[in-house]
């Protein structure tokens, strides 16, 4: 998996690509936690190119979300592919995360 | 830090009686098996998705319970015609076979760590009995306090908390963590958290099916 970061003002946008499974979990967690630079952090995760997520991947997102909450920051996801959306629905992660319809809505929700 | 198998044995311990809460054998087995699978998942030895359970690292963990479960799963997967179809329920079933052995090992570890002690006695002056009084309840109290906080708040749980909540709920032991009124008030929260671990979902499903069978048998005999 590859992780790309860019900044839009105070918001860090992280783009996850490929598969987020146990082999990618550690680097993804590091990449996402590095993106929590600001206090409070404002993070948007672009998942349009994330084709697969396993339980190990879900745990990574949970750890990041918890960190953001502890630092009173904001986090939004957008661009969930149908596979990933199904995993979120079955696991109830869609009730924990703020999932925006598009990039603009995601940016607006964390500002 | 205790493993989930050890935590489960400790959560099943009733401090007042010094004995263990009695669960139907099949529920107990599946919960211990689930705890072991969750340990393996947290240690990155297995991974799961909606269809499959995959061994991602077959190397031993150094924990004899987990290594036994891991080698069982690896052996079953190797024998399977199509390993990609191996799912969580099959792994649970495999691991549950030796749940009593795992419980005994976990119990010995808790005694070695000075958390429980073994006391042999006599019941009605005749029958041998064995109790396990709690010597150090720090771990048990801390886990219950943490779970209580997560269940009563809307805080994002960490992965360990989710696993423990799945296991406690599957054993119907929420009453040791929350009052009856709190359980009623937080049903939606419990259900939300129980869904968040795919192995936990399989444990819940399997335990509920067993409960339903026992209830059916009890009401139709």
Question: Which residue from B minimizes the CA distance to A23?
Answer: B56
Using an 8 Å CB-CB cutoff, list chain A residues near B50: 86-87, 90
User: What pLDDT score was predicted for residue B156?
Assistant: 95
DSSP 3-state of B109: helix
Min Cα separation A53/chain B (Å): 8
As a whole number of Å, the end-to-end CA separation of chain A is 28
B21 vs B127 pLDDT, higher one: B21
CA separation for the pair A22, A54 (Å, rounded): 7
| Superfamily of chain region A2-110 | STAS domain (3.30.750.24)
- Inform me whether the C-beta atom of residue A61 falls under 8 Å from chain B C-beta atoms: no
Beta bridge partners of A18: A50
- pLDDT, one tens digit per residue, over B37-90 is 999 999 999 999 998 999 999 999 999 999 999 999 999 888 876 766 688 998
Q: Which residues lie closer than 8 Å to B39 by C-beta, 6 or more apart?
A: B3, B4, B5, B63, B66
Confidence of residue B213 (pLDDT cuts 50, 70, 90): low
d(CA B37, CA B95): 8
Q: Is the distance from CB of A110 to CB of A76 less than 8 angstroms?
A: yes
**pLDDT for B79:** 81
Q: Please name each of the domains of chain B with its CATH number.
A: 4-212 (1.10.3630.10)
- What residue ranges do the domains of chain A occupy? 2-110
Residues of chain B neighbouring A93 (CB-CB closer than 8 A): 196
Enter the pTM of the model. 0.90
| Inter-residue contact B167 to B11 (CB < 8 Å) | yes
Supply the pLDDT for residue A44: 97
Task: Tell me the per-residue pLDDT of B111-127, one tens digit each, with 9 for 90 and over.
Answer: 999 999 888 766 556 66
């Amino acid at each position: 998996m590859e992780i790309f970061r860019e900044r839009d003002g105070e918001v860090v946008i992280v783009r996850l690509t490929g598969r987020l499974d146990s082999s990618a979990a550690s680097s993804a967690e590091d990449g996402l936690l590095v993106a929590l630079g600001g206090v409070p952090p404002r993070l948007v995760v672009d998942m349009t190119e994330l084709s697969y997520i396993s339980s190990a991947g879900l745990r990574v997102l949970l750890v990041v979300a918890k960190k953001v909450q502890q630092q009173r920051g904001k986090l939004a996801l957008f661009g969930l592919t149908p596979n990933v959306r199904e995993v979120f629905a079955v696991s109830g992660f869609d009730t924990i995360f703020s999932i925006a319809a598009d990039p603009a809505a995601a940016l607006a929700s964390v500002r | 830090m205790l493993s989930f198998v050890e935590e489960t044995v400790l959560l099943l311990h009733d401090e007042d009686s010094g004995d263990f809460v009695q669960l139907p054998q099949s529920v107990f087995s599946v919960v211990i098996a689930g705890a072991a699978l969750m340990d393996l998942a947290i240690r990155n030895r297995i991974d799961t998705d909606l269809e499959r359970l995959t061994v991602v690292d077959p190397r031993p963990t150094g924990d004899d319970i987990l290594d036994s479960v891991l080698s069982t799963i690896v052996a079953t997967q190797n024998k399977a015609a199509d390993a990609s179809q191996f799912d969580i329920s099959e792994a649970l079933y495999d691991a549950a076979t030796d749940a009593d052995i795992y419980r005994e090992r976990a119990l010995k570890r808790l005694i070695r760590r000075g958390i429980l002690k073994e006391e042999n006695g006599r019941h009605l002056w005749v029958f041998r009995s064995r109790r396990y009084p709690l010597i150090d309840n720090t771990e048990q109290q801390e886990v219950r306090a943490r779970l209580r906080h997560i269940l009563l708040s809307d805080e994002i749980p960490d992965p360990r908390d989710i696993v423990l909540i799945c296991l406690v709920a599957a054993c119907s032991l929420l009453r040791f963590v929350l009052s009856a009124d709190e359980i009623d008030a937080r049903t939606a929260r419990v259900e939300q958290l129980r869904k968040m671990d795919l192995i936990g979902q399989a444990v819940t499903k399997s335990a509920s099916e067993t409960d339903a069978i026992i209830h059916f048998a009890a009401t139709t005999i």
